[in-house]
């Protein structure tokens, strides 16, 4: 039994990124209450952005402290560069720090997007809540990335989920938003129940909730309680499958994305999905990985194969379902279903002698996915405000009305399609080569087929922008300054990753080591 080890004042320094978000959140609640009603609530948005950037600064500082110049990931592993808090229930390591950087940058871009769109959205009556509720949601995602046991993981999951439920329903003047919030609460509650049920089985057979105990406890538990171990793992897969919106657990996503405020749709598509994937990655490589690769059938092999099947289903169902879609946010939701499949592939094909950099593939594509999705949703906010709706026909003649915005959207579409010269091209290519290296040729074929199918609906947007007219080319689209900043940060970074993917991959490989960050406690 692990004894509970309380936090010391020195330990709180390691939790500075999460504590900063919590402190800023509380301060902003009080500030909102004290501010006169006539004061523009965009100040809350800028303060929220400041809190996110301060938290990001602490994460980067901690990462630099744990990775001094000239020290490799393997040397860091030998030096024990994993900080365990609260009896190893919370881990500060390079795995968590890398993902926290992604989550904080993504949420910062989403807050900027909201500053350009939400202030003029009359359906959002509580604009201050719209901004500061993103802070605990992001903190929940960060907790999931650093969880060292099942209880901490569940706390992070619920913190992210509950705040997301509220954020989806903040457009109180919209019946679609209310419907989306209700559907999200129901499906999210079912997902949380599945996750908790699966966790209870694993706790029951191992006697521990600590991920550090699973490598030694699970083999014996599998020998004694084979059926119960299977139940635990597959309920967890189902629960996280709903959170990730991977087929066949994706039916909620189009309705929720359509009804939610557009910045929140982007948050669900990138941060919430990324947090669930991060939790799956750490959990599986602390548990199922040690029950795979044996001379006889092992539950780990079945778990990873089930993930491959879900990934394949997500890619095919997501792309096929999007073929007849005419609503932009629903289309991006189904695109996210397909991309969830791509992101599952490097996790599911596991680590082998010929395939040892699966986290690099996962992290690179997650960064590319973040940039192209946040950018695309930012363009949707501009189109929706100009046309008064979110249908794809709103993109008609965009090249003639806002040529630079059309050029940026072209970059995002090319990246989503996996075409050069974009980050999405290399992200998909690295994942495809990883699958080919372990001879999963059937999966490579499905990835290729789903990519080709996706060209039809992605290029439909290009056709609307460049080959259609909205009937009034003089109707110029106005892009708010902060929204334009988000669009072009994402577009520039997407192109940069497409031209020079090597530096990011090399940096991830230098910083992260599966031995140091996932196998050592």
> Domain limits of the chain?
9-517
Q: What is the per-residue pLDDT across 239-297, written as a single tens digit (0 to 9) for each?
A: 999 999 998 899 999 999 999 999 999 999 999 999 999 999 999 988 878 777 654 55
- CA geometry: angle at 27 spanning 22 and 33, to 5°? 130
Q: Is residue 86 within 8 Å of 8, Cβ to Cβ?
A: no
Q: Which segment of 323-332, 375-384, 507-516 scores lowest on mean pLDDT?
A: 507-516
For the record, the structure tokens of 136 come out as: 């605990």
Q: Is residue 221 within 8 Å of 206, Cβ to Cβ?
A: yes
Position 405 pLDDT exceeds 70: yes
Nearest to 84 by CA among 11, 29, 134, 27: 11
Per residue in 207-229, is it b (16+ CB within 10 Å) or e — as a string? ebbbbbbbbebbbebbeebeeeb
Peptide bond into 255 cis (omega under 30): no
- Distant-in-sequence, close-in-space partners of 20: CB < 8 Å, separation ≥ 6: 51, 54, 55, 58
Q: In whole angstroms, what is the distance from residue 378 CA to residue 269 CA?
A: 13
What pLDDT score was predicted for residue 72?
53
Q: Give the percent of the chain with pLDDT over 90.
A: 54
Kindly report the number of other CB atoms within 10 A of residue 353's CB atom: 7
Q: What is the per-residue pLDDT across 10-55, written as a single tens digit (0 to 9) for each?
A: 778 889 999 999 999 999 999 988 888 777 788 999 999 999 999 9
Q: Give the percent of the chain with pLDDT over 70.
A: 92
Helix axes 226-244, 175-206, angle to 10 degrees: 160
Position 374 confidence tier, pLDDT thresholds 50, 70, 90: very high
What pLDDT score was predicted for residue 241?
94
Q: What is the mean pLDDT of the chain?
A: 87
Helix axes 175-206, 252-259, angle to 10 degrees: 130
Q: Is residue 186 within 8 Å of 165, Cβ to Cβ?
A: no
What pLDDT score was predicted for residue 215?
86
For the record, the structure tokens of 34 come out as: 């004290």
Q: In whole angstroms, what is the distance from residue 1 CA to residue 22 CA?
A: 31
Mean of pLDDT values over 176-184? 91
For the record, the structure tokens of 60 come out as: 């980067």
- Measured CA to CA in angstroms, residue 504 lies from 103, 266, 291, 416 at distances of 16, 23, 32, 19
């Amino acid at each position: 039994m692990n004894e509970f080890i309380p936090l010391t004042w020195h330990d709180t320094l390691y939790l500075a990124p999460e504590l900063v978000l919590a402190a800023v959140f509380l301060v902003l609640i009080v500030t909102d209450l004290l501010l006169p009603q006539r004061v523009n609530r965009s100040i809350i948005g800028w303060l929220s952005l400041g809190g996110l950037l301060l938290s990001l600064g602490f994460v980067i500082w901690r990462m630099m402290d744990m990775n001094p110049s000239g020290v490799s990931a393997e040397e860091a592993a030998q030096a024990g560069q994993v900080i365990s808090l609260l009896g190893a229930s919370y881990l500060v390591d390079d795995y968590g720090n890398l993902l926290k950087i992604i989550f904080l940058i993504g949420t910062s871009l989403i807050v900027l997007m909201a500053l350009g769109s939400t202030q003029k959205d009359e359906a959002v009556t509580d604009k201050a809540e719209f901004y500061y509720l993103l802070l605990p949601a992001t903190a929940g995602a960060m907790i999931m990335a650093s969880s060292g046991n099942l209880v901490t993981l569940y706390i992070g999951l619920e913190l992210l989920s509950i705040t997301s439920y509220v954020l989806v329903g903040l457009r109180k003047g919209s019946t679609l938003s209310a419907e989306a919030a209700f559907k999200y609460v129901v499906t999210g509650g079912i997902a949380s129940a599945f996750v908790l049920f699966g966790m209870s089985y694993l706790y029951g057979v191992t006697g521990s909730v600590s991920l550090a105990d699973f490598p030694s406890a699970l083999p014996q538990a599998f020998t004694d309680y084979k059926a119960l171990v299977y139940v635990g793992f597959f309920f967890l897969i189902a629960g996280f499958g709903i959170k990730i919106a991977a087929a066949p657990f994706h039916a909620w996503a189009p309705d929720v994305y359509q009804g939610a405020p557009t910045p929140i749709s982007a948050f669900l598509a990138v941060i919430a999905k990324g947090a669930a994937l991060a939790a799956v990655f750490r959990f599986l490589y602390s548990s199922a990985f040690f029950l795979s690769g044996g001379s006889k059938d092992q539950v780990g092999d079945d778990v990873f194969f089930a993930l491959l099947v879900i990934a394949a289903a997500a890619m095919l169902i997501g792309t096929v379902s999007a073929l007849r879609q005419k609503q932009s946010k629903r289309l991006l939701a189904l695109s996210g279903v397909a991309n969830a499949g791509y992101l599952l592939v490097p996790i599911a094909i596991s680590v082998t002698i010929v395939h040892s950099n699966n986290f690099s593939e996962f992290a690179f594509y997650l960064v590319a996915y973040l940039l192209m999705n946040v950018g695309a949703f930012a363009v949707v906010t501009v189109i929706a405000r100009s046309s008064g709706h979110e249908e794809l026909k709103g993109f008609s003649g965009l090249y003639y009305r806002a040529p630079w915005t059309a050029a940026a959207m072209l970059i995002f579409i090319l990246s989503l399609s996996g075409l050069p010269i974009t980050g999405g091209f290399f992200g998909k290519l690295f994942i495809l080569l990883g699958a080919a290296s372990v001879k999963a040729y059937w999966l490579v074929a499905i990835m290729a087929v789903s990519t080709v199918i996706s060209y039809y609906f992605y290029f439909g947007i290009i056709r609307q922008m460049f080959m259609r007219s909205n009937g009034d080319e003089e109707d110029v689209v106005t892009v708010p300054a902060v929204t334009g900043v988000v669009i072009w940060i994402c577009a520039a970074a997407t192109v940069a990753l497409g031209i020079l993917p090597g530096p990011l991959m090399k940096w991830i490989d230098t910083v992260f080591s599966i031995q140091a960050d996932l196998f050592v406690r």
